Amino acid sequence: MNYTLIGSLTSPYVRKIRLLLHGTPYELKVVNYLEEAGNEYLQSINPVNKLPVLIDGDKTIIDSRVIFNYLTKKNKWPELSIDEENILSTIDGAMDASINLFMLRRGGLDLNCGNGYVERNLARVSHILKHLTPWVKEIDEKNPAHWNFLTMSLYSYLFWLGFREANSLDAHPELTKFLERFKNALGVAETTIIA
């Protein structure tokens, strides 16, 4: 079993799959979708034109959530409960909103412009980060079972926020502590973004 994961080194969606695959043989094919050749290649394998993409033999799996579900079934890993699915959807919701805001800012939009779409996404991120705090307090970094796809997803997202200077965690000290507590978890060093 040898997978090919197509992605970028900075994407939190790609990183959480890399963390999930830690210890499993796979090839990472880095694509820069901001360059014409990378964008054309990505469009040729994924109609949604997003990363990550997992190739397993003749199967092409798009979207990190679908990749996770595919790998879970294939490897007979425990499936997520409804409560865990909700937590993952919450993390992904914050990640989507934050990436949209980052792309708007990168495109030159002032995020303090009073735009309703921007304000809604800023509020969504803030609300989700507050919502996740009680859950984060219950996670024990000394329990290997707690380093799972949910915590990998949250770690990837929170690290990305700091790397991209997309949002301060000053108002969320428990989330900052979470990053510190899991900085030595399996796969973290190998997947850390280097600017």
Tens-place pLDDT, residues 168-186: 999 999 999 999 999 999 9
Question: Which of 94, 5, 14 is CA-nearest to residue 54?
Answer: 5
* Residue positions counted in the chain: 195
pLDDT reported for residue 53: 97
CATH class of 3-75: alpha beta
pLDDT reported for residue 35: 80
CB 44 within 8 A of CB 36: no
3-state secondary structure of 61: strand
Report the C-alpha dihedral over residues 55, 81, 19, 170, rounded to 10 degrees: 130
pLDDT reported for residue 1: 59
Q: Which fold has domain 82-191?
A: Glutathione S-transferase Yfyf (Class Pi); Chain A, domain 2 (1.20.1050)
What single letter denotes the amino acid at residue 101? L
pLDDT band at 52 (very low <50, low <70, confident <90, very high): very high
pLDDT band at 42 (very low <50, low <70, confident <90, very high): confident
pLDDT reported for residue 51: 94
Question: How do the domains of the chain map onto residue ranges?
Answer: 3-75, 82-191
